[in-house]
Amino acid sequence: MGASHGCGLTGMKAVGSAEPAGASGGRSTRRRYSVVMGILAVSAVLSLWLGSGRHEGYETKLHELPLTVDGWMGRDVELSRPDMVYAVLETSAVLSRVYRGPREGDRVDLLVTYFERGHRGFHPPEVSFVAGGNRIIQSGLVRIPLGDEAGSPGLEANMFLGETPAGQVLFVYWFGIGDQWMASYLKGSVQLLWNAVLRRRSAAGMVRIALPVVGGDVDGAMATARQFTRLILPLLPEYLTESSRGGGRR
């Protein structure tokens, strides 16, 4: 899939689409699980580095993120088994919300996960998506311009198109380390490790949006993802700003 609607899709690749059925499918599955295992290995290293030492207690105003954003109306979604989710992620700062847009059929599932400084961090959503028995059709990077002018700054994010029993879903996600947004899980992990070595504990987070692909219109779903991202991104820093539980912003 090429660039569309000015979204700047780069490095897009189809997962398994060029392989014949049969033995090659096994190779694709093995490669996919190798990637998953590699990601989990990095997470284990992060746990060792970032889990040591005493942590101060911090909290955010994540759940105060506005329910109404420029015509989009949101509602909170209750997590199923929140105790398990919090235990696995080692955080209780998880915002799960559905926003519906001004146009009929516009829907975005927003998930923001926040890890207070000193905690181990995050893992890409492909891990749980594939582990749940779903299939990734395409994946790559997207650049979302944050302004209408030529040369305006943009957000680099990850994108993958997934196949689920309910149909195709488009995912766009990115990570936050301190006050920086980035697409690269590896870059974010290295930065967290380096900060841990220097005893500069950094807060970390992940923002993921998911949209149903209606009638196979991936370009239309990507255009909606771009529009929503441009609306929600400027709001996030205020509600992800830490304050110590004893008072005081950081």
pLDDT by residue (tens digit) across 43-94?
555 555 445 444 445 567 888 999 999 999 999 998 777 676 666 666 668 8
Q: What are phi and psi of 22, to 5 degrees?
A: 110, -135
Structure tokens at 244: 């110590």
- Please, are residues 159 and 142 in contact by the beta-carbon 8 Å criterion? yes
Predicted confidence at residue 46, as pLDDT, reads 52
- The pLDDT tens digits for 183-225 are 887 776 676 666 666 666 666 788 999 999 999 999 999 999 9
Structure tokens at 126: 């492909």
- Please, are residues 171 and 74 in contact by the beta-carbon 8 Å criterion? no
Predicted confidence at residue 2, as pLDDT, reads 36
How many whole angstroms separate alpha carbon 174 and alpha carbon 11?
16
pLDDT at 148 exceeding the cut of 70? yes
Q: Which residues contact 53 (CB under 8 A, 6 or more apart)?
A: 118, 199
107: β partners: 100
Predicted confidence at residue 208, as pLDDT, reads 95
pLDDT at 169 exceeding the cut of 90? yes
> For the whole model, what pTM was predicted?
0.72
Ranges of each domain in the chain:
9-242
